[in-house]
Structure 1
């Protein structure tokens, strides 16, 4: 057991969460070589699209991928691989992805980021990424990864909705596999893509934000009320219309992100709805978070399944895994805030995307809740047969040209293995994993993620 893992486990013991809840994944010695290679390309490409190269390397490594498979993925994702056809057509020509971009040098002399000014440059329209990356590289060396997270992540977590949740995914997945190179990139991306959702001081004259409370409504009941509220469909339409105006189009963040940004406008009903309706119920400081975390993982998995693997809701699931990987490094209050910011972002994403299959998700969650009440509520452990099944289903995704497929199955597998959740939760994870690995009618690996919209 390495020092990082000992720190994680001891931290969980201190806050009352069973040691088995979190475990460092089994990753190969060569994974860090690949993740370091990720710096050969910029964190974004095509203006605002997020680089997923390293994320899928982690999922492939967990599936036991060899050197050739890891190299194959690099070639596919960077749009260099070709098939055997006479016209030399790229293998991934069906993808929207263009060639990944080389690391950038700023065209102007951008201000160096320091502890004095780092807060003043958040949301710096991406031009400050390299400066922030250099800053966090140095801070990780100076403080160590865990102390760096404890100091900087709580502030950055308020803006985790930026860039369709990809910055927090990059950060949390890096922390999980102990990659300092990737973690510094993720923190820098969180800083420059920083996007709060109605939590800033400019909302104080309206409905104030309360991220979490022990006295908030039951999470399942609150979610049902939010998603079946008559105003929700109107908010979806209003966000769409507003995102098409010139001020939002000039942001050049992509259609989805521009719709999400409308939820931070204090004069619009989207922001007011979040602050009136969305408060995450969490136990008091010092009390065990396990039951709440289990419920959030089930909500994320049920939302992915019921939405027919809707693209941005998949991001909600993979970003929750990222947030959970960060929690051991935060104090009690920052942990709750991190979960509160994530839940708020998930609700906003679901509304922005038109609340796909809301009723189906609610039915799944109600059935899960009923099973929990009848059976053993925690400590479900996988037998050897199930462990083999999870590995095989992850391995079945490694030829996918859509990296979201192995990434999603990898997260579901990790949650299934944590051993503090119930069998009812495990069955939701397994159901979602089966669904996302079902080939569509073409059987094509380039599009075997079932997009609902």
Structure 2
């Protein structure tokens, strides 16, 4: 199977990514640190050290753009104030979701494993178990891990794996849940399943139930933010959200030994069209950038683990769309059905020099944004376009989505949020 080609990153990018360890993986209680992600994008856009330093200064001070909002600062790495059990192969699975206190210990653990085994072997050994919880911290741990793997940054990868461990959040899987299937070669097609899920009359009631439950003390005491607390309710076997996932969300994938490329193309198009239809809804953005992360890790996994990782991602995306009120999902389904028709007529494509220049220009146009999600999204779409393993119809979708998210506000001011471009 052909996956991404190695990115053409600069020699000094690793020095910057190593510097990312000067700040903690989270700040302001539960917000995720995106500093290194945008450094990767800036480097891919040809930015020099001065521009990368500019982003560090903007992001680490994270000055509020509204006088009504307090400033939020990135924090230095946290010291552990208690004598906590060391993480070893004997107990690493027992300490998952350890209320974030063990992040530094997990990072030390994965630092050593990567040094001893190499990054690829470490991923093959530990990532499959961690992928079950990739919905944790709004996809950011799997983003951090996958983007690190893409540029071969061991410093960043051990942070990502540690974050996947401490933010671990399964969705109706594991020993408390029975009779669930992640993927099957004879399930309904991916787009048909997506359509069936979101035309279910009970979706709105599930979102309402998740919202109300997330406001109870059991969930607010977790201090993980409203979105994550809503998502966590889908792992509660006593409520209908978990049963809905296990009754309805089975990802169609080819049997072991068969090529995954067509399924991967469909998943990228689902992520892109869901983002476009929702007018760049915040958490659906994370769904798209996290799929890039998952795809970067796939070549390091066995065939069963590859399929599980894709299925966990799809399950997390479905739950995300539901808890966010299924924004414009009818439009998403319509775009997906049109894409299926267009795909039948389209062939493979080779990017022309003009198209390559357009993608680079579009990416570069976003790199002054104070909102790192905008360049990150365009970067992922650019990478998928350059993959050229998909149909020209998929490329047309990527272009459409990139144009939508990169369009600046009428005022043209950087401090305006570029997402809401109407």
Q: 2:361 aligns with which of 364, 386, 392?
A: 392
Distance 1:436 1:290, change over 3 A: same
Equivalent in 248, 256, 259 of residue 277 of structure 1: 248
Partner of 2:122: 148
Matches of 2:104 and 2:257 in 1, distance apart? 38
Cα distance in structure 2, aligned partners of 1:112 and 1:91: 38
Counterparts of 2:279 and 2:388, CA distance in 1: 27
TM-score by length of 2: 0.98
Deviation at 1:419, TM superposition (A): 1.0
| 1:171 partnered with 2:145 | yes
Q: CA offset at residue 447 of structure 1?
A: 3.3
C-alpha separation in 1, matches of 2:416 and 2:308: 36
Aligned: 1:58 with 2:40: yes
| Preserved CA contact (<8 Å) 1:236 1:353 | yes
**2:296 is the alignment partner of 1:322:** no
The 1-side partners of 2:38 and 2:345 are apart by 38
**TM-superposed deviation, 1:404:** 0.1
Q: Which residue of 2 aligns with 1:120?
A: 94
Contact 2:64 2:70 in 1 (8 A): no
What's the offset of the Cα at 1:442? Answer: 3.5
Query: Which of the numbers 186, 191, 199 marks the counterpart of 2:160?
Result: 186
- CA offset at residue 92 of structure 1? 4.6
Q: Structure 1: which 5+ residue stretches go unaligned? A: 1-16, 81-89
Question: Matches of 1:268 and 1:311 in 2, distance apart?
Answer: 26
Pair 1:45-2:16 in alignment: no
Q: Separation in 2 of the partners of 1:122 and 1:375? A: 45
Shift of 1:109: 1.2
Q: Distance in 1 between matches of 2:71 and 2:222?
A: 21
Q: State the match for 1:34 in structure 2.
A: 16
1:242 aligns with 2:213: yes
User: Deviation of residue 448 (structure 1)?
Assistant: 3.1
User: Any runs of at least 4 consecutive aligned residues in structure 1 with deviations exceeding 4 A, and if so which?
Assistant: 90-97
Q: Distance in 2 between matches of 1:31 and 1:322?
A: 18
Contact 1:438 1:448 in 2 (8 A): no
Equivalent residue in structure 2 for 1:196, among 164, 170, 180? 170
How many Å separate the matches in 1 of 2:48 and 2:144? 22
Aligned to 1:447: 416
Residues 315-354 of structure 1: pairs in structure 2 closer than 5 A = 315-354=286-325
C-alpha distance 53-217 of structure 1, shift in aligned 2 (>3 A)? same
RMSD of aligned residue pairs (Cα, Å):
1.3
Q: In the comparison of the two structures, how many residue pairs are matched?
A: 420
TM-superposed CA distance for 1:239, in Å, is: 0.3
Match of 2:390 among 421, 424, 428: 421
1:405 alignment partner in structure 2: 374
| 1:91 CA drift (Å) | 7.6
Contact 2:148 2:154 in 1 (8 A): yes
In the alignment, is the contact (CA less than 8 A) between 1:404 and 1:449 conserved in 2?
A: no
| Aligned partner of residue 115 in structure 2, secondary structure | helix
| TM norm structure 1 | 0.91
1:35–1:182 contact (8 Å) kept in structure 2: yes
Distance across 1 between alignment mates of 2:417 and 2:10: 27
1:410 shift after superposition: 0.2
In 2, the alpha carbon distance for the partners of 1:283 and 1:139 equals 32
Structure 2 CA distance, aligned partners of 1:279 and 1:451? 33
1:222 and 2:196 correspond? no
